[in-house]
Amino acid sequence: MGFRTVADDTEVGWPSGIPHIVGNEASERFSFYGMKFILWPYLVFLYCQEAGLGEACGDVEGLSESGPGKLLASHATSTVHLFIAGVYAMPIVGAWVADRVLGKYRTILWLSLLYCLGHGILAFFEGALFWVYVGLACIAVGSGGIKPCVSAHVGDQFGAANRFRLAVVFRWFYFAINLGAFAAALLVPWARSRFGWSVAFGIPGVLMAFATWVFWLGRHRFVHVPPTRGPFWGSVADRGMLLRICGLFLFVAVFWALFDQHASSWMQQGGAMERRVGRFEILKEQMTAANPVLVMLLLPFSSRVLQPLMAQWGFRTDAFFWMRLGMWIAAVAFVVVAGLQWLLDHGAMVHILWQLLGYVLMTLAEVLVSVTSLEFAYRQAPHGHKSLVMGVWCLAIAVGNAGTAIAALLSGLSLFGFFLSFAGLMALTAIAFGNVVPLLFPGKESARSSNGVA
Q: What is the tens place of the pLDDT at every residue in 112-145?
A: 999 999 999 999 998 889 999 999 999 999 988 8
In eight-state DSSP terms, residue 280 is E
Q: Is residue 2 part of a domain?
A: no
With respect to residue 111, please indicate whether it lies within any of the assigned structural domains: yes
- Residue 451: pLDDT band (50, 70, 90) is very low
pLDDT given for residue 102 in this prediction:
85
Task: Tell me whether residue 408 is in a domain.
Answer: yes
For residues 70-89, average pLDDT: 89
Kindly report, residue by residue over 273-330, the tens digit of the pLDDT.
999 988 888 888 889 889 888 988 888 888 788 878 887 887 777 888 889 999 999 9
Query: Given CA atoms 213, 218, 220, 223 in this order, what sign does their dihedral have?
Result: negative
pLDDT at 198 exceeding the cut of 90? yes
User: Is 97 in contact with 390 (CB distance < 8 Å)?
Assistant: no
Q: Which pLDDT does position 230 carry in this prediction?
A: 60
Residue 421 lies in a domain: yes
Whether 451 is in a domain gets the answer: no
Tell me: the pLDDT tens digits for 411-428? 778 899 999 999 999 999
Using DSSP's 3-state secondary structure scheme, residue 52 falls into coil
CATH code of the domain covering residue 33: 1.20.1250.20
Percent of the chain with pLDDT over 70: 89
pLDDT of residue 62: 47
- pLDDT confidence band for 254 (50 / 70 / 90): very high
122/35 Cα distance (integer angstroms):
9
For residue range 149-186, list pLDDT tens digits in order: 777 777 788 777 777 777 777 777 777 787 888 889 88
Residue among 251, 254, 410, 253 at smallest CA distance from 334 = 254
> What is the rounded distance in angstroms from the CA atom of residue 446 to the CA atom of residue 224?
32
Domain residues for the domain of 430 are 18-223+232-440
Number of domains in the chain: 1
| 8 A C-beta contact, residue 215 and residue 108 | yes
Contact 162, 13 (CB under 8 A): yes
CA–CA distance, 60 with 140 (Å, rounded to integer): 25
Q: How far apart are the first and last CA of the chain?
A: 42
Question: Which of the four pLDDT bands, split at 50, 70 and 90, describes residue 453?
Answer: very low
